[in-house]
Amino acid sequence: MAVSPLISRSPSATASSSNAAMKLKKVATQSSLNGPEIAPSPLSMQNSDRELTEQLNDDVRHKYIKDKKLGEGTYAVVFLGHLRSEPSSFVAIKKIKVNAEYKDGLSMDAIREVKYLQELAHPNIIALHDVFSSKDKNLSLVLEYLPLGDLEMLIKDANIHYGVADIKAWMGMLTRGVWFCHENFVLHRDIKPNNLLIASDGEVKLADFGLARSFADPYLNMTHQVITRWYRPPELLYGARQYSGVVDVWSIGMVFAELILRVPFVAGSSDLDQISKICEAFGTPTEANWPGVTKLPNYLAPDNNHMVPLQGREFFLRQFPTVGAVGADLLMSMCALDPRKRSSACQILQHGWWLTEPKPTNKENLPRKSGGTKKMGDDLTRRGGEVDDTPFKNAARQLDFNAMR
């Protein structure tokens, strides 16, 4: 799949595109002044197209100055950067690692990230300002700089205290971002606290679209090996190849539970362990409570001696009392085992919980990572011991995506 390296959303990017357009105009004018019109040969047209593309690419690249390294993911290194013309305008420059294993040296993750971020512009989705390639042929994505870390950092930091109003604000921002993806027929497929980055004004932004895909055709087969295990819904663990936006809703539910408990709610050590932990927590899937489940490719018949009845409202209220009966009801609607009974992102946004007290905290007043200003809310203390985050980080990435669909 060819990726155009020229995407511009920032105002200054428009200026550089118009520079290039002027250059194009100049080339055209010069050629018409240079005597009789001779149709250019296809080869010379190709050459001038390439020159123009290179010129446009250089213009975009020169707009930015790369600073220190911010972090490193599986397929990219992220740097802080700023606009050459405006040093106080920061950006994050994500330099994609070139890997000979991949077609054209580019991983599918990188191609997906560019493809979907190009299409999605929303306050709760990280903005892609530009894309350019460097002299060494590496592709760089110029992204909105989000300096306040991510939700995982907040959840794990014992020095940060937060309450229900804060959770409501974060959950609202997350759900609005996911709703927008689904409205545009894009599945994110890797929602987890670590992929929810925080802007300087406290806005939560959905990032890392490396596993995203479009789902306009409900009958198209897709891979079930997506979504980091602890956030993966039971239908994918059972190998479903046809699924919809509610796979992301399950992940939203897991993030909701984790924000409340401050530890991941269902943390399996393998795919098998994950499904058995889901059954222990929410109930054993059966044909009665989930028609068709036994036909899923990786379905495993449960041990008749260990059948757990489907959990109802009381269970959710008992496990998550801090969010109240209405909040527990909302969480339950995200955790329905049968995907057909699970709420959509749109239904979540229409739920009564958003209107109950307390109102969501204003984003500017939300707790921030240590080093920033902290705010005392209703204290939700950390539960249990240390979380082993080895399988937590990028677990979905460790799967084999050779047959990625």
List the catalytic residues. 190
- ω before 358 within 30° of 0 (cis)? yes
Label the pairing between strands 139-144 and 64-72.
unpaired
Q: How far apart are CA 382 and CA 255, in angstroms?
A: 15
71 annotated ligand-binding residue: yes
Contact stretch for ligand AMP (CB under 6 A) within 140-148, 247-255, 294-302, 380-388: 140-148
Please check if 74 is assigned to a binding site: yes
205 is in an annotated binding site: no
Residue 143 sits in the site that holds ligand AMP (CB under 6 A): yes
331: left (phi over 0), alpha (psi -120 to 50) or beta: alpha
- Report the residue from 145, 179, 209, 282 that binds ligand AMP according to the rule CB under 6 A: 145
Residue 78 marked ligand-binding: yes
Dist CA 33 CA 278 (whole Å) = 73
Candidate list 146, 186, 247, 275; residue touching ligand AMP; CB under 6 A: 146
| Minimum CB distance to ligand AMP, residue 252 (Å) | 19
- Separation CA 266–CA 249 (nearest Å): 15
What are the backbone angles phi and psi of residue 371, rounded to the nearest 5°? 105, -35
Q: Is 91 annotated among the ligand-binding residues?
A: no
Token pair 């499904």 in the structure block, residue:
275
Residue whose CB is less far from ligand AMP, 143 or 267 = 143
- Window 48-107: residues binding ligand AMP (CB under 6 A): 70-73, 76, 78, 92
| Per CB under 6 A, 316 contacts ligand AMP | no
Residue 165-204 contact track with ligand AMP, rule CB under 6 A, x = bound: --------------------------------x-------
Dmax (CA) of the chain: 91
Q: Is 352 annotated as a binding-site member? A: no
CB 248 within 8 A of CB 178: yes
Nearest distance, CB of residue 65 and ligand AMP, angstroms: 16
**The one-letter amino acid at 351:** H
Binders of ligand AMP in range 24-43 (CB under 6 A): none
- Number of residue whose CB is nearest ligand AMP: 73
Interacting positions 110-129 with ligand AMP (CB under 6 A): 126
* Helices 42-62 and 11-33: angle between axes, nearest 10 degrees: 150
Dihedral of the alpha carbons of 244, 250, 252, 253, in degrees to the nearest 10: 150
Q: How far is the CB of 74 from ligand AMP (least distance, A)?
A: 7
Calpha distance 184→136 (Å, rounded): 35
Residue ranges for the known binding site for ATP are 70-78, 94-95
Could you list the residues that contact ligand AMP (CB under 6 A)?
70-73, 76, 78, 92, 126, 143-146, 197, 207-208
